[in-house]
Amino acid sequence: MKNLEIAKIFYEIADILEIQGIDFKPRAYRKAAKNIESMPQDIEELHKKNKLEEIPGVGEHIAKKIEEIIETGKLKYLEKIRKQVPGHLNELLKVQSIGPKKAKQLHDKLGVTTLKDLEDAAKSGKIRKLDGFGETSELDILKGIEIYKKGKERIPLGFALPIARELEHILTQLKDTSKVLVAGSLRRRKSTIGDLDVLVASKQPEKIMDFVTAMKNVQRVLSRGTTKSSVILENGIQVDLRVVHDSDFGAASQYFTGSKEHGIKTRIIANQLGYKLSEYGLFNKNNKKVAGETEEEIYKKLGMQCPEPELREDRGEIELAQKNRLPKIIPYNAVKGDFHVHSNYSDGSASIEEVAKECIRLGYEYVCIADHSKSTRIGNGLTEERLLKKCKEIDQINKKLKKIRILRGAEVDILANGELDYDNKILKQLDIVIIAVHSKFKMPKEEMTNRILKAMDNTYVNILAHPTGVYYGMREAYEIDFPRIFEKAAEKNICLEINCSAPRMDLSDINIKAAIDNNVKLAIGTDTHALEQLKTMEIGVAQARRGWATKKDILNTRTLKELGKYFNKIII
């Protein structure tokens, strides 16, 4: 398909001109590129009919260039201007927050030409020293690089979910859509997402295609058809869009929600019952459609319960659904509090009172303020003195705010030798003691396990935070001997954390299920450092649901009184 090739060339021209500081022209090229890649007609056909200038945004000047590309397979103008800019400078523009001016400045002042150079410069703190940049823009650049790279691979659910919701919202508002669903791994709330699979029910599929391929935040159109298209958004995320009939929406949802393995098994069950199940519906032997508008009616005809999307991984849910025995997984609204929030005493940005007020707004009964302990220098860890001062402040705010209970907590470092970063005199003054590894991640499995087990032996410990240390894009999980950790956790009533922070997502769904099977309870913590992160609680609940957790497995569903009982502490 020539359309996409030509569009790509014009995008590159726009990028290069932009780096050269030329006004207006880049916008013209970009507009033409976008129209070319999203139009249904074949550009070569238009060229044959001499109708190139009918494409919106294509005037005589650009039409000539299209002609040259179609006839010679290349464009001299592009070859010329490519020589005028160094290396891969236009790749830098793919990073959010870097515009052409900044790209040029980074090149001239620091010799940055590739993404790798950019990352190195940001990590070594050189960028913050440039005029017009600062510490925040350096962090933004690192985040942007991360998102761009992730866009090419998989991206954490925590980053993808808001983007999917926004898209769902925009499509729902269109007058030609009757139903919209982001299916695929996102609907199953898998911890990382490959691409977004968007389903739309509409009688006007062409209009939906026109709309989506021309959206402002679309960077590239990979393919465009009458009922399906694929685009890449500016942040690098791929969107696969399908438009179906209202009456097929359930069947399409069932098919495109997957997982593939779950789908294949339901199709086998359909066959065994003399049906055929496809993305268009459930059909009987005479090819008559017997279900398809909703997922529920399809599963019902197959003689099984409709499993929640988070369960659809073919990990035994199908067999249980057939016996009407699916577990009652924790509902999203069952959460009564957050166990892991940082305040501005350590490296959080909000004050304790601000956190508490936001938690009241969220309808919580309690929140545990868990700042870093003294060894975490990067996290501005608290000395004993500051911790006690913090506890006093918490007591005062508790007296003032009646609607919530702030728990006095700390996220205490597990030192390399397994000792804790505060001594027992301090720990016993806290409501909740969270422990975590924040240093010396590289240790043989046995040694790391013993280190953590030793820390868990302390009687004051309540929660083991981010138990495997995994940090997406930065650090693999360290290995630990899970059976031994589970055994100790169950014996000492220590919860394992489900950490909601997007790049962490630790424990994983599989390990959550294993923990539950070993009678271990779990505590969901958002690890909030800025107020808006409190909302990521749902990511943790989603993983709990993927791990088949019921209400009783998750500590956040308990009242304050029940917490005290569980931890054998006076909390109320």
- For Ca ion, what does the binding mask look like between residues 155 and 184, x meaning CB under 5 A? -----------------------------x
Nearest residue relative to Ca ion (C-beta): 184
Work out how close the CB of 458 gets to Ca ion at its nearest, in angstroms, rounded to a whole number. 43
Specify the stretch interacting with Ca ion by CB under 5 A; choose among 193-201, 426-434, 461-469, 556-564: 193-201
* Residue 26, binding choice from ligand DGT, Ca ion, none, Cβ under 5 to 8 Å by partner class: none
Q: Give me the torsion for CA of 9, 15, 19, 24, rounded to 10°.
A: 100
| Binding region for ligand DGT (CB under 6 A) | 184-185, 190, 193-195, 197, 255-256, 258-260, 263-264
Work out how close the CB of 238 gets to Ca ion at its nearest, in angstroms, rounded to a whole number. 7
Q: Distance between CA 369 and CA 533 in Å, rounded?
A: 14
- The correct pick among 18, 146, 195, 317 for binding Ca ion (CB under 5 A) is 195
Token reading at 287: 């090819």
Work out how close the CB of 306 gets to ligand DGT at its nearest, in angstroms, rounded to a whole number. 16
Work out how close the CB of 252 gets to ligand DGT at its nearest, in angstroms, rounded to a whole number. 10
* Residue 258, binding choice from Ca ion, ligand DGT, none, Cβ under 5 to 8 Å by partner class: ligand DGT
Work out how close the CB of 467 gets to Ca ion at its nearest, in angstroms, rounded to a whole number. 28
Farthest CA pair distance, the chain: 86
Q: Distance between CA 375 and CA 346 in Å, rounded?
A: 12
Nearer to ligand DGT, 10 or 159 (CB): 159
Token reading at 459: 């009687």
* Residue 250, binding choice from ligand DGT, Ca ion, none, Cβ under 5 to 8 Å by partner class: none
Which SS3 state, helix, strand or coil, does residue 235 take? coil
Residues 378-407 close enough to bind Ca ion by CB under 5 A: none
Which SS3 state, helix, strand or coil, does residue 200 take? strand
Token match 């997982």: residue?
259
Name the CA radius of gyration of the chain, rounded.
27
Which SS3 state, helix, strand or coil, does residue 149 take? helix
Work out how close the CB of 103 gets to ligand DGT at its nearest, in angstroms, rounded to a whole number. 31
Work out how close the CB of 5 gets to Ca ion at its nearest, in angstroms, rounded to a whole number. 23
Work out how close the CB of 192 gets to ligand DGT at its nearest, in angstroms, rounded to a whole number. 7
- For Ca ion, what does the binding mask look like between residues 319 and 338, x meaning CB under 5 A? --------------------
* Residue 373, binding choice from Ca ion, ligand DGT, none, Cβ under 5 to 8 Å by partner class: none
Nearer to Ca ion, 256 or 472 (CB): 256
Nearer to ligand DGT, 20 or 259 (CB): 259
Nearer to Ca ion, 231 or 434 (CB): 231
Work out how close the CB of 304 gets to ligand DGT at its nearest, in angstroms, rounded to a whole number. 17
Q: Give me the torsion for CA of 270, 271, 275, 281, rounded to 10°.
A: 60
Residue pair 365/403 in contact (Cβ under 8 Å)? The answer is no
Specify the stretch interacting with Ca ion by CB under 5 A; choose among 173-181, 187-195, 454-462, 506-514: 187-195
Q: Distance between CA 15 and CA 90 in Å, rounded?
A: 6
Burial class (CB in 10 A: 0-12, 13-18, 19+), 234: middle
Closest CA to 166 of 86, 229, 234, 248: 234
Work out how close the CB of 197 gets to ligand DGT at its nearest, in angstroms, rounded to a whole number. 5
- The correct pick among 37, 197, 310, 393 for binding Ca ion (CB under 5 A) is 197
Nearer to ligand DGT, 301 or 569 (CB): 301
Nearest residue relative to ligand DGT (C-beta): 258
Burial 266-288 (b: 16+ CB within 10 A, else e): bbebbeeeebebebbbbbeeeee
* Residue 264, binding choice from ligand DGT, Ca ion, none, Cβ under 5 to 8 Å by partner class: ligand DGT
* Residue 263, binding choice from Ca ion, ligand DGT, none, Cβ under 5 to 8 Å by partner class: ligand DGT
Nearer to ligand DGT, 90 or 185 (CB): 185
Token reading at 70: 């179609």
* Residue 468, binding choice from ligand DGT, Ca ion, none, Cβ under 5 to 8 Å by partner class: none
Token reading at 461: 């410990």
Work out how close the CB of 255 gets to ligand DGT at its nearest, in angstroms, rounded to a whole number. 6
157-173 vs 537-546: helix axis angle to the nearest 10?
100
Q: Distance between CA 255 and CA 242 in Å, rounded?
A: 12
Q: What's CA 486's distance to the chain center, in Å?
A: 28
Task: Tell me the three-class secondary structure of 278-339, residue by residue.
Answer: ECCEEECCCCCEEECCCHHHHHHHCCCCCCCHHHCCCCCHHHHHHCCCCCCECCHHHCCEEE
Nearer to Ca ion, 452 or 542 (CB): 542
Nearer to ligand DGT, 126 or 228 (CB): 228
Q: Who's near 350: CB < 8 A, 6+ residues apart?
A: 343, 344, 358, 530, 531
Nearer to ligand DGT, 258 or 337 (CB): 258
Q: How many residues does this entry show for the chain?
A: 572
Token reading at 295: 């997922």
Question: For binding to Ca ion (CB under 5 A), which residues are involved?
Answer: 184-185, 194-195, 197, 240
